[in-house]
Amino acid sequence: MSLIELSTASDTGVSSHIRVSFPVQGSYLPADHGYLLYAAITTRLQDIHSAAWLGVELLSGVPWAPGVIALPARGASLHLRLPAEQFSQVLPLAGTRLEIGSYSIRLGLPVARMLLPATSLYARIVTIKKFTEPEPFLAAAQRQLYQLGVQGSLAFPQDGHTRSRRIITIHGYKVVGFSLAAHDLSETDSLKLQSVGLGGRRSMGCGIFNPIVKATWTQADSQA
């Protein structure tokens, strides 16, 4: 999709954000790679360090060894969430090698697509500072949702009777978060939530929502 097509799409005023997907060549990554991935990206693109507009999705894989995931042989991608006008800022990542801990990946040529609305969305992990227990966290997340002007309900996806609690490591510190689902969203609210997310650390894989598809929760539980 060209930049011209993206600009035309954003003129509707519904959402100016896009999902930029870089094909990935690589075999393994640390399961907890959000901060390491962000560090690798900003080492290559120092101008976007601390950019508030950047969202970086965690890469999907399957458990391989303790603390390690295996990437799929085909179809692995790095997805970035950003305003359409910032597309040119991330294009230099194409063709680069990113060192992520003791592993590395190489990125191909990106494809940019508009966000698509869905009544239900899923975030693999959302973090809100000082909220590390399920019920207070859910209440804080609902307040943030209303502050965005988004009408909808939030819930914890569950695998059996297990709460979707997540731990990520940032600068050597363990940060508690939770998987979260949003339901009953209008088209406009769905696009807004996908564009700006909830909580903090969006550049490290947190607070990024995608449409729910079949088995999303089960797959995400195994990938995180």
113, pLDDT greater than 90: yes
Closest CA to 133 of 177, 169, 167, 170: 177
Tokens of 158: 């569950």
Domain limits of the chain?
Answer: 3-114, 121-223
**Residue 166: closest CA among 156, 176, 174:** 176
Give the residue among 69, 85, 89 at the shortest CA–CA distance from 24: 69
CATH T-level fold of 3-114? Alpha-Beta Plaits (3.30.70)
> What is the C-alpha separation between 51 and 45, in angstroms, rounded?
11
Q: Tens digit of pLDDT for each residue in 159-214?
A: 543 568 999 999 889 999 999 999 999 999 999 999 999 999 999 999 999 999 75
Query: Is the pLDDT reported for residue 219 higher than 50?
Result: no
pLDDT band at 15 (very low <50, low <70, confident <90, very high): low
**More confident of the two residues 1 and 123:** 123
Report residue 131 as tokens: 């909220």
DSSP for 175-197, written as a single string: EEEEEEEEES--HHHHHHHHHH-
pLDDT at 218 over 70: no
Q: Do domains 3-114 and 121-223 have the same CATH topology?
A: yes
Q: Are 107 and 96 in contact (CB under 8 A)?
A: yes
Residue 6 has pLDDT above 80, yes or no: no
90 vs 45: CA distance, rounded Å: 8
For domain 121-223, say whether CATH 3.30.70 is its number.
Answer: yes
**Mean of per-residue pLDDT scores for the chain:** 88
Per the model's pLDDT, the better-predicted residue between 211 and 157 turns out to be 211
Query: Could you give phi then psi for residue 50, rounded to 5 degrees?
Result: 70, 15
- This prediction's pTM: 0.86
